[in-house]
Structure 1
C-alpha cells in the first residue's frame, strides 16, 4: 500500500525497513515480486530470485507514498503474480502491508474476503501486516486474513518488524495446519460452569466442529495457541451454581458415565487439515485435574493469565473481577523470568504505561 495515508513515519518507511530485513533472509530458491497500489495498481518488481538482493532492495527503496487507495486492484495483481509464479510443493503467499484504509475502487470487505477464500483454495495464502494507528482498520484486516488461511500482525516498531519477519519468519510464511478447531468437553462431575476468555469472534457452533466446510484458524510453523477457561468447580459455593430452592418438576440429574468418575477434568479434541488437504484429522487428549494452586502453576501459565487479565481490564470487561494493573504487573513479572527475545519485558512496559495513563 503506497497510498497517501501510508506517508507517516510508522507506515511506509517502516514497511520498507521490515521488508529489507525479510529480504536478507531469502536465498536462491526463493522468489519475490513487489506489487503496489495507490490510485492504481502496478508491478514494481517482477518475480525475482531471492539471492538478487541488490535488485530487490533497489525496488523497495523506490517506493513512495501518495494518492488514493485502490486496494482491491493491488491485491488482485499480487495474487495474479503469485499464480503465474506458483511453486508446486512450495510456500506461495501474498504479504499485504497496509493501514487498511481501502477507500477507492471495489473496496467492499465482502469482495476482498471472497477473493482471499478463492485464492487460498488454490494454494496461495495471505499474510496481512497492519501499520499505523490513526486509521488502522484492524477488524477488517483480521477478517480478510482469517478467510485467506493466513495470519495478521500489527507492526509499530522496527523491533516488532524484526519479530514478525525475521525471528518468527517461518510462522509468518509457512502454514503447517489449516482450519484448526478446538473443542473441549468438561467433566460435569468436576466442573459446574465454565467460560472461555476471549475469542468472541472465533467461536464456532458445536456442530461446526465436525463440518469440514466450516472455515477456522491456521497455525504457522513454530506458533503456539493459548486458550484460557475460567471454571467453577463442583465443590465451589459460587452463586452461579447454587441450585434452585425447589426441585425441578421436569428435569432430574443427568446420569454420568464411568469416565466422569475418573480424575479427568476435561477432554480436548483437535481437528486440523494439512495445508493442501480438504479432509480433517481428529486428535483427542484427556486432561487430568492437577489440583494446583495458582502459585504452583508454570511461569508460562502465570504470564498467560496476566496477559488475559490485562486484556479484560483494557476492555472494561464485566468479568475482570477485582483484577487491577498492579496485580497484572506482579503476576507477569514473576512469569517473565524466561524471556529470550525480550517480548515479556516489552509487555511489562506496556502495562506500566497503561497504568500511568489510567491515573
Structure 2
C-alpha cells in the first residue's frame, strides 16, 4: 500500500513538472509602428484564456503562457489589434499600427427608440457606420499642438539688507516632473516654462522625521556647500506630514468630474483616466462615497453618490464613458460642487477630482472666470484635485491655477504607473488634507548673509504682509506628504556670485542691531498653517545657525538628491544661476543618494538625465 502511495505521488509530481515544462515565459516590447515610441498600457493576453498583463511605461511586458502553441493578442485603444503565435520565441517584440478610424471616433448618441439621432462634430462627407447600440462617426482631422504653459521668469538673488524677508506658499504639485519625463522619453526637450523646479523636487519623497509634537508636520533643515557654486551655501528645508493609516483616515465624499469631450478620445486621455480611477476605486472603504459627473457639450450626473463597498457599480459607470463633443467645463464644475455639497461630510474629506486635458471651450472658459468660480466654491470646505492627461492640447497653466485656487493639488498622469503612484502609493497625501494655507517666511541676517535666492516657487511667492494675513490663500499639505524647498545663500565673505545692486536710500537708513552681529544665526524661519477646517493660523518658528553647516560628504541623501534634481531643472531651463552644474555632476549627486528607492523613481530620474545628454542642444 505504501509503495503504491509513493508511486502515485511520484506520478503526480512528474505530471506537474511536465506541465510546468510546457509553460513558457514570454517577454517583449510593444511600440508604435509609425515612430518606434514605446506604448504603455497595451493589454497582452493569451488567446482563449484569462491570462494577461499590461505593458509598463517603457512598453515592456512579461507573460507566462501555456506553451509554444499559445497565441498572444495585443490590444490598445486607437491601434489595430494584433495576434502573434509564440512558437519557439521567448522574446516577442510587436509593432502596432494606428487604427485611423478609432483615432477620430466620435460617439453619436441615439435618443428614444432609435427615431432620432443627434450628431456631434460630424464633418461633411464623413462615413457613418452603424453598430448594435450606437452610431460611430469617423472624422479625420489634422492635429495641432496647442499646449499652453505660463511664462515663469526665474527668481533672482535678493540683497539681504534691502530685502531681508522671503515669503512663499508651499507647493505639493508634482505635475511638472511627469510632464518633463513625457517629453524626454519621447526624445524631445521640454519647453522651458514646463520646468517648474519645485514640482520636480517635490515629485520625490524624502526621509524626513515624523512629527512628534501637536503640529501635523515636522520641520527639518540642513545646510552645506552649494554643489554648483562652492563659494555659496545651500539651505535645504523639508516638511514631513503626519502619516495616517488608510483605515484611520476620515471618510471621503468624492466627486469625479470627468472631461469626456472629443479632445479626450486618444488612448493617453480618457482610456488611461478610466484605468487610473479603477485603481482608486479599489482603495475605497465602505464609509467612502463616490459620485461621477461628466461634461462635454453639457454636464450630467452619471453616477449618484455611491458607497465605496459597491465597487462593481462604480466600475461599470466608468467603463461606459466615451468621448465626444465640445467642452462645457464651467457647467461641470458647478454641478460637481453641487453634488459634493449635497453629500457633505462634516469632519470628512470632501473633494472634487477634476480630470481633463484642460481644454475648456464652452460656457465659463476664461482663466479669470474659472479662477473666480473655483475661489468661490472653495469657501464651502470642498477641496479640489486636478489631474492632467494627454499631449497636444494640454492646458498646463490653467490646470495648475485651478488646483491652486481650489485648495488642492495638481498631477499630470502620463502612464498607468503614474496613476498607481497618485492613486495608490500616495493615496492619503493626494486626497486627505492635514493642514491648509501653509506658508513660510524667512528673515535673513544681513550680518551673515549677503544675498539669497529661492530655487523655484516663482508662482508661489507672497508679499511680506501676506504671511500674517489669515485671509490669504496658500498651499495644502496631505497626510504623509513631504515638501522640500532650497535656498542658495551667498555668505558675506563670498566674492564670486554677482547680485543685483540697488542705490542707497535717500530718506532712510537701514542699520543692523547688535544682535545681528553677535549671533551665529543665518536666518529665522517662520511657518503658518491652519487646520483643514480652521480659519485662524498657528505659528511655528525655528532658527538656522551658520555653525550647523555640514561638510558636503556628510550631507544626507535628502540633501544630495534634492540638489541633484534642482541642478537638473536649472540645466533644462538653461538658468543663468546654474553655476558649474553639469549633467555628469547631476548623475554623480543622484547616484550617491539613491537610498532605498523601493519604487525605482530615483533610478528613473537618472535615466532621464542620461536621455537628456543624448539630445542635441541645437534648436
TM-score, structure 1 as length reference:
0.94
State the match for 1:2 in structure 2: 260
2:533 counterpart residue number: 276
Structure 2 residue corresponding to 1:116, chosen from 374, 398, 403: 374
Deviations along 1:135-174, one digit per CA (max 9) or x if unpaired, are 1111111111111111101110111111111110111111
Alignment of 1:239-278 (within 5 A): 240=498, 254-258=511-515, 260-278=517-535
3-state SS in 2 of match to 1:236 = coil
Residue 411 (structure 2) aligned to one of 106, 129, 153: 153
Distance 1:133 1:260, change over 3 A: farther
Q: Which protein is richer in strand relative to its size?
A: 2
Partner of 1:36: 294
Larger radius of gyration: 2
* Alpha-carbon displacement from aligned partner over 1:269-299 (angstroms, at most 9, x marks no partner): 0011111111111110112222223332111
Q: Distance between the aligned counterparts of 1:22 and 1:239, measured in 2?
A: 48
Do the aligned residues in 2 keep the contact of 1:2 with 1:66 (CA within 8 Å)?
Answer: yes
When residues 112 and 251 of structure 1 are mapped into structure 2, their CA distance, relative to the original with a 3 A threshold, is: closer
- Give the counterpart of 2:355 among 85, 97, 100: 97
Q: Bigger shift: 214-223 or 332-341?
A: 332-341
Contact kept in structure 1, 2:490 and 2:497, CA below 8 Å: no
Q: Does 1:330 align with 2:579?
A: no
Residues 338 and 187 (structure 1 numbering): CA distance in 2 closer, same or farther, change over 3 Å?
farther
What's the secondary structure of 1:352's corresponding residue?
A: helix
Between the aligned partners of 1:122 and 1:236, the Cα distance in structure 2 is 50
Distance 2:306 2:531 in 1: 28
Rounded Cα–Cα distance in structure 2 between residues aligned with 1:239 and 1:253: 23
Aligned residue for 1:355?
613
Alpha-carbon distance in 1 for matches of 2:507, 2:366: 50
| Match of residue 208 from structure 2 | none
Q: CA deviation at 1:349?
A: 1.8
Q: Secondary structure at the match of 1:106?
A: coil
Secondary structure, in 3 states, of the residue corresponding to 1:184?
strand
Moved more, 81-90 or 258-267: 258-267
Q: Are 1:207 and 2:459 matched, yes or no?
A: no
Does the residue aligned with 1:195 lie in a helix, a strand or coil?
Answer: strand
Q: 1:312 offset after TM fit, Å?
A: 1.2
SS at match of 2:301: strand
CA displacement at 1:12 relative to structure 2: 0.7
Query: For 1:41-120, what aligned pairs fall within 5 Å after superposition?
Result: 41-120=299-378
CA distance in 2, matches of 1:153, 1:226: 17
2:416 is the alignment partner of 1:134: no
Q: Which residue of the partner structure matches residue 13 of structure 1?
A: 271
Distance in structure 2 (CA, Å) of the matches to 1:105 and 1:243: 48
Per the alignment, residue 543 of structure 2 pairs with 286
Shift of 1:258: 2.1
1:311-349 deviation per Cα after TM superposition (whole angstroms, max 9, x unaligned): 111112111122122211111121113312222112112
Match of 2:478 in 1: 220
Question: Which of 417, 438, 452 is 1:180 aligned to?
Answer: 438
Change (3 A) 1:291 1:17: same
Distance 1:262 1:175, change over 3 A: same
How far did residue 34 of structure 1 move? 0.6
Relative to total residues, which structure has the larger helix share, 1 or 2? 1
State the alpha-carbon separation in 2 of the partners of residues 317 and 146 from structure 1: 25
Say how many residue pairs are matched.
Answer: 357
- Inter-partner Cα distance in structure 2 for 1:260 and 1:112: 50
Q: Deviation of residue 196 (structure 1)?
A: 0.8
Change (3 A) 1:112 1:249: closer
Q: In the TM superposition, what are the counterparts of 1:315-326 in structure 2 within 5 Å?
A: 315-326=573-584
Residues 189 and 9 of structure 1: CA distance in aligned 2, closer, same or farther (over 3 Å):
same
CA distance in structure 2 between the aligned counterparts of 1:26 and 1:255, rounded to whole angstroms: 57
Shift of 1:91: 0.4
Q: Is the 8 A contact 1:189 1:261 kept in 2?
A: no
The CA distance in 2 between the partners of 1:243 and 1:171, in whole Å, is 42
What SS does structure 1 have at the residue aligned with 2:438? strand
Greater RCO, CA 8 A, separation 6+: 2
Give the Å deviation of 1:180. 0.9
What is the alpha-carbon distance in structure 1 between the residues aligned to residue 563 and residue 593 of structure 2? 9
Conserved? CA contact 1:232–1:238, under 8 Å: no
Q: Please say if residues 447 and 516 of structure 2, whose CA atoms lie closer than 8 Å, have aligned partners that are also in contact.
A: no
Deviation at 1:22, TM superposition (A): 0.4
User: How big is the shift at 1:51?
Assistant: 0.6
Alpha-carbon distance in structure 1 between the residues aligned to 2:392 and 2:365: 19
Tell me the residue number matched to 2:88: none
